[in-house]
């Protein structure tokens, strides 16, 4: 079993059969950017073999050239928030990695006209789309449909028929370039 650092790159060699290894080390001790830990089983139990990379900087780049096969699940940090954007409408936002899932709910309780920006709340940093996206809004118990533009600055704009009532529902997914919220 060996670990080699050269020219800022990281190469890991593993033979692992019948050996137990639990070694940890800081790649950059001055800045403590990341630690590397290799864990191998002794061949007689089901602890498996693994590699753990702990990065203290959430933007620590990890590049893998080649394919990755995943057996089992992948877990990511998830953050959720609900915001009232105005006119009685709420966006529930869930952030996973660089992806945001938005669910539109509520009851329209004030007048909306096409092109009107909502004035109560904006999509907060950490959840904003990296380009303008539209959230389809199906009006339950009606044939009317609309959509809400979600801008890169977090503003939301109604695009649909003028109305002062209704129960819009919609779901959309987008990518964000924002840092993960605390």
Residue 72 domain flag: no
Q: Collapse the DSSP code of 168 into the 3-class scheme (helix H, G, I; strand E, B; otherwise coil) and give the result.
A: strand
- Here the CATH number for the domain that contains residue 147 is 2.60.40.1830
Domain co-membership, 47 together with 126: no
Same domain, 6 and 37: yes
Which DSSP letter does residue 123 get? P
How much is the pLDDT for 67?
A: 75
Q: Give the pLDDT mean for 25-29.
A: 55
Between these two residues, 20 and 65, which has the higher pLDDT value?
A: 65
Rounded Cα gap, residues 10 and 27, in angstroms: 9
CA angle in degrees (0–180, nearest 5) for 129-133-131: 45
What is the pLDDT of the chain when averaged over all its residues?
Answer: 79
pLDDT above 90 (res 165): yes
Query: What is the distance between the alpha carbons of residues 96 and 92, in angstroms, rounded to a whole number?
Result: 13
Question: Is the residue at 128 inside a domain?
Answer: yes
User: Residue 110: inside a domain, yes or no?
Assistant: yes
Above 70 in pLDDT, residue 6? no
Residue 144 has a pLDDT of 84
- Per-position b or e across 22-40, b if 16+ CB within 10 A of its CB: eeeeebeeeeeebbbebbb
Question: Quick one: pLDDT at residue 50?
Answer: 56
Query: In terms of domains, do 85 and 8 share one?
Result: no
Number of domains in the chain: 2
Residue 101 lies in a domain: yes
* β-pairing verdict for 89-96 and 78-86: antiparallel
Range 90-112 average pLDDT: 97
Determine the average pLDDT of the residues in 86-109.
97
Higher pLDDT, 171 or 76: 171
Domain extent at residue 16: 2-55
């Amino acid at each position: 079993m060996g670990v080699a650092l050269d020219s800022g790159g990281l190469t890991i060699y593993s033979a692992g059969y019948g050996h137990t290894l639990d070694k940890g080390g800081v790649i950059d001790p001055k800045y403590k950017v990341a630690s590397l830990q290799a864990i191998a089983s002794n061949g007689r139990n089901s602890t498996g073999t693994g590699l753990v990379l702990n990065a203290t900087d959430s933007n620590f780049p990890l590049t893998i050239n080649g394919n990755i096969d995943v057996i089992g699940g992948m877990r990511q940090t998830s953050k959720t928030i609900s915001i009232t954007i105005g006119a009685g409408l709420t966006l529930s936002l869930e952030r996973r990695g660089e992806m945001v899932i938005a669910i539109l709910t509520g009851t329209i309780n004030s007048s909306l006209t096409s092109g009107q920006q909502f004035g109560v709340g904006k999509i907060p940093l950490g959840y904003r789309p990296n380009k303008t996206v539209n959230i389809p809004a199906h009006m339950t118990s009606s044939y009317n449909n609309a959509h809400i533009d979600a801008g890169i600055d977090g503003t939301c704009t109604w695009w649909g028929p003028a109305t002062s009532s209704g129960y819009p529902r919609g779901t959309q997914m987008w990518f964000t370039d924002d840092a993960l919220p605390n």
